Chain A
Amino acid sequence: SQQGEEDPQALSIQEGENATMNCSYKTSINNLQWYRQNSGRGLVHLILIRSNEREKHSGRLRVTLDTSKKSSSLLITASRAADTASYFCANTTGANSKLTFGKGITLSVRP
């Protein structure tokens, strides 16, 4: 079963605006990762944040992690139409690093 929950489920913004997506989880984690999926197929890894980190940046992406609230957020700044995709948070808890995914957020960026 999936333990993560993202919100909102769908987000529509204008190109150039920032997009903020949130994720919550239920148990202690090793790390939390965000993935992007286009057209319901392969996933692309965006960023990983370790359980002892609070914030991480990668280009236009900023991820925060609050382990006390068991939540994370992904901020995409200066969005582009090409950012239109589904975004998933996933975490690992065990030694084998299997990923537990949320249901995903559908982001639409209007040109």
Chain B
Amino acid sequence: GAGVSQSPSNKVTEKGKDVELRCDPISGHTALYWYRQRLGQGLEFLIYFQGNSAPDKSGLPSDRFSAERTGESVSTLTIQRTQQEDSAVYLCASSLDPGSYNEQFFGPGTRLTVL
């Protein structure tokens, strides 16, 4: 079946521009997570959705970052006024529900480069 998909796969933007990154989770998965991975690093948690609500936004690095989820499906991560330090791979994951023992399925990521 279809896995988690993300678009675009690559995004190059100029400093100060806004970008939108999209995640399509596996159908029926209620939990959705966004992570960021800087070059040579592990993943950093950004935000978690349960359905369309985001009970944990603790990983968002600044108020330039926001995310929403609609229809308990697609999620969009928006970065406003991008900075060079925002350059990273942004990964989305979904799981059947947020239970601790449920595997998270990851998308291929969006590589964001801010010039």
Contact = CB atoms under 8 A, between A and B. Distances in A.
Interface of A: 1-2, 4, 30-31, 33, 35, 40-45, 48, 50, 88, 90, 92, 94-104
Nearest to B39: A40
Residue among B33, B50, B104 with the highest chain A CB neighbour number at 10 A: B104
Given A40-B89, A42-B107, A43-B106, A104 B101 contact: no
Contact of A96 (B35, B89, B98): B98
Given A40-B89, A41-B89, A97 B98 contact: yes
A72 to B, nearest CB: 15
A97 B43 contact: no
Interface residues of B, number: 32
A22 B31 CA distance: 29
Interface in B31-78: 31, 33, 35, 37, 39-45, 48, 50, 55-56, 59
Interface string B96-107: 001111111111
A61 to B, nearest CB: 15
B56 A102 contact: no
A96 B104 contact: no
Given A40-B89, A98-B56, A99-B45, 14 more contacts: A2-B44, A31-B101, A40-B39, A41-B108, A42-B109, A50-B101, A88-B42, A90-B42, A97-B99, A97-B100, A97-B102, A98-B45, A98-B48, A100-B45
